[in-house]
Amino acid sequence: MERKRFIKAIAFASLMPALLLAACGEGATEQKAAAAAQSYTCPMHPQVVQDKPGTCPVCGMDLVPFDKNNKDASLTLGESQVTLANITTATVTAGALHNYRQLNGRLVTDPEQTAVIASRVPGRIEVLYVKETGVTVKKGQPLYRIYSEQLATLQQEYLLAVAQAKQFPADARFQQIEKAARQKLLLYGQPEAGLQQLLQAQQPDPFITYPAPVSGVVAELQAVEGQYVAEGGNIMRVEGYDRLWVEADVYPGEAAGIQAGQAVKVVVAGWEQEPQAMTVQFLNPALQSGAQVLQLRGTVPNPAQRWRPGMQAAVLLPSGSKDAVLKVPADAVIRDGRGAHVWIETAKGKYVPRPVKTGIETFDDVEITDGIRDGEKVVVTGAYLLYSEYVLKKGADPAAHRH
C-alpha cells in the first residue's frame, strides 16, 4: 500500500513541471494573441497599419491604436460631441440644377470712374493739399493752389472789359468783350464767387485754388510743391471704386458661345458665398498681345468699396441645366482616390458613410445620380470630422465600405 502511494507521489511530482510549462505556454499564447489583436494606424493615412506603436512613414504622425475586429460601418456620437463638431445636416431634395463653365478673371478700375486732374493754367504749384496716394477725396475738396501770371493777366483784361462796358452801356461790342472775358475766366476754373471778389477788390489775384471735380481715391501723384506746370500738365489721378470692371480670359474656341448681353455670374475670391450677377458688355475681337486668349468684360457694383482692383474673380458661364435631379450641398460630398461618399444620418447621433455617384456640379450643389434617396439626411458641416473619427475608432477608410 505504501509502495503505491510512493509511486503516485513520484509520478505527480514529475508531471507538475510539464503542467506548469503548458500553462505558461498557454498564457503566453493568449498574451501574444491579445497583442496581435492590437493594431495601430495613422489618422491621416488609414492604409498604414502595423502591430506596434510608431510613426507614419508618409506624414510622420504618431500611430494610434484601433480595433480592427470592429466591422460596424456606423458612428454613434453623443449630443455634446455633435455640438462640439458642429455637425449639421440637410435633407436630400429634387430640383433644378444649372451647370457653369468657369473663366479666370480679375477686377479692374473702371475708366469711366477715373479722373485725371490737370492744371487749367500754367504756373507754379504753391500748395498740394494731398501729398500721398491712397487718400480718399470728396468732390469740391481743395486739391492744390497754384500761382499763375497768365491768370492775373486774364483777370486784368476782365476788369478793363467790365469798366468799358459800364462806360459805354449802349455799345454792344463792349458788352460782348466783357462777356467773352468773363467766359474765359470761367473756363480757366475761376468760380463765380471768385469773379465777384475780383470785381469788389478791383485787383488781380494770381493765386487760385482748384477743388476736386469728383470723389475717389488718389491713385497717382505727378507733381510736387514748387513745381512749374504747363497748361494741361497732369497733377494727380483720382479713381472711383463704386463700380469695377471684370475682365476674364477666353480661349478662341470658347468665344463662339459668348455674346454681348449674355447674363453670367461673378465670384470674387474671398466672397465665394456672394456671387454677383453681371452682363457681358464687350468681347475683344483680337487676341491679347503675347497670349492666345480673348478678353471678356463686364461691370459689377462695388457696395461699400469692399473690393479693390487687382483682386481675382471667376466668371461663371451657363453651360447646361437639368430639372428634377437629386442634389446635395457641395460641402457634403467627400472625394478621395476611390471615388466620392457622403455621410447619412440614419438616427439621431448615428451616421453611416455611403458611396455615391455624382453628376453635374455647380458652385453650391452637386447632382447625385446613385447612392442616396430623396428625403434622406446628409451631413453638410462636420463631414471631415466624422471621417477622422471613423479612422481613429476603426482604423479604416470609410470610403472602403462600398457595395
pLDDT computed for residue 8 by the predictor? 55
Write down the pTM of the prediction: 0.54
Q: How confident is the model at residue 220 (pLDDT cuts 50, 70, 90)?
A: very high
Mean pLDDT of 97-125: 88
Q: Which H or E run contains 210?
A: strand 207-211
pLDDT computed for residue 145 by the predictor? 93
pLDDT computed for residue 72 by the predictor? 64
At 126, list the grid cell.
504753391
Q: What is the largest CA-CA distance in the chain?
A: 171
User: What's the fold here for domain 100-111+241-319?
Assistant: Elongation Factor Tu (Ef-tu); domain 3 (2.40.30)
CA distance 195 to 187: 12
Q: Which H or E run contains 100?
A: strand 93-109
CA distance 391 to 42: 8
Mean pLDDT of 131-140: 92
CA distance 380 to 91: 10
In whole angstroms, how large is the CA radius of gyration of the chain?
A: 41
pLDDT computed for residue 28 by the predictor? 45
User: Which pLDDT tens digit goes with each residue over 36-57?
Assistant: 456 777 766 766 778 888 888 8
Q: DSSP class of residue 285? A: S
Considering 146-160, 255-269, 277-291, 313-327, the range whose residues carry the highest mean pLDDT is 146-160
CA distance 29 to 90: 50
Q: How confident is the model at residue 233 (pLDDT cuts 50, 70, 90)?
A: very high
Say if residue 187's pLDDT is above 80.
yes
Buried b (16+ CB within 10 A) or exposed e, 159-198: bebbebbeeeeeeeebeebbeebbeebeebbbeeebbeeb
pLDDT computed for residue 20 by the predictor? 44
At 340, list the grid cell.
466620392
pLDDT computed for residue 43 by the predictor? 62
CA distance 105 to 97: 24
Decide the pairing of beta strands 243-250 and 93-109. Answer: antiparallel
More confident of the two residues 45 and 17: 45
User: What's the fold here for domain 116-239?
Assistant: OB fold (Dihydrolipoamide Acetyltransferase, E2P) (2.40.50)
Q: Which H or E run contains 300?
A: strand 294-301
Cβ contact 211:113 at 8 Å:
no
What does residue 372 show for φ and ψ, rounded to 5 degrees?
-135, 165
Q: Which H or E run contains 2?
A: helix 2-37
Residues 6 or more apart whose CB falls under 8 angstroms from that of 90 comprise: 328, 329, 332, 377, 378, 380
Listed residue (107, 100, 101) closest to 313, CA to CA = 107
User: Domain residue spans in the chain?
Assistant: 33-66, 67-97+321-400, 100-111+241-319, 116-239
Say if residue 4's pLDDT is above 70.
no
Name which CATH class applies to 67-97+321-400. Answer: mainly beta
Q: Which residues pair with 124 in a beta bridge?
A: 147, 228
Say if residue 30's pLDDT is above 50.
no
Q: Among 143-152, 288-297, 374-383, where is mean pLDDT lowest?
A: 288-297
Q: Which H or E run contains 176?
A: helix 172-187
Q: How confident is the model at residue 7 (pLDDT cuts 50, 70, 90)?
A: low
pLDDT computed for residue 148 by the predictor? 92
Residue entry with cell 470609410: 398
- Return the percentage of the chain with pLDDT > 70, whole number: 83
Say if residue 103's pLDDT is above 50.
yes
pLDDT computed for residue 223 by the predictor? 92
Cβ contact 359:96 at 8 Å:
no
